Copies of this chain bind each other. A is one copy, B any other.
Amino acid sequence: METETATRWLTDDEQTTWRAHLDVNRLLMHQLERDLQPFGLTLNDYEILVNLSESDDLRMRMSDLAAATLQSKSRLSHQITRMENAGLVRRENCESDRRGLFAVLTEHGIATMRRVAPHHVASVRRHFIDLMSPEALTGLRDSLLPVVDHLRGQRGKL
């Protein structure tokens, strides 16, 4: 795809923005992980709990959950095994659907979400949302949504 043209290196301004984006990513994921640690959850665990809790009947097909969390099926399978051992989810076969292996939120998973979610939201506010004005947040959203669309399109090309 690349033609032999001169490399367009990043300008100083572009470089500053790019590094700020990378730094926020990494520092923020690190901070959110740290804030979840007292609850015995990783950020990956939390994300799976959120996905299941927002789904009909608190369950998702494993392949849909892998797509939603951008993980490979084998990596997700290991993750679900760990969460099953912690009593947060269970696997379930669906009789009417041969493709259907589901991950289902357990009572303990629901209770865990209820307990942890307020702390996680407070953490997201303290370290990200509340540091920006409403205008800055709107600007950020308008800048990022086209990037999300583009990247999802790329992913479709896999």
Partner-B contacts on A (CB < 8 A): 2, 7-10, 13-14, 16-18, 20-21, 23-31, 70, 117-119, 121-122, 124-125, 127-129, 131-132, 134, 136-148, 150-152, 154-155
Contact = CB atoms under 8 A, between A and B. Distances in A.
Given A30-B70, A141-B20, A155-B27, A10 B148 contact: no
Contacts of A10: 121, 124-125, 129
Contacts of A146: 131-132
Which secondary structure characterizes the binding site on chain A? helix
Given A7-B121, A24-B144, 11 more contacts: A7-B122, A16-B145, A20-B144, A24-B148, A25-B29, A27-B151, A132-B146, A132-B147, A136-B143, A139-B143, A140-B140
B13 A141 contact: yes
Contacts of A14: 129, 137
A131 B147 CA distance: 7
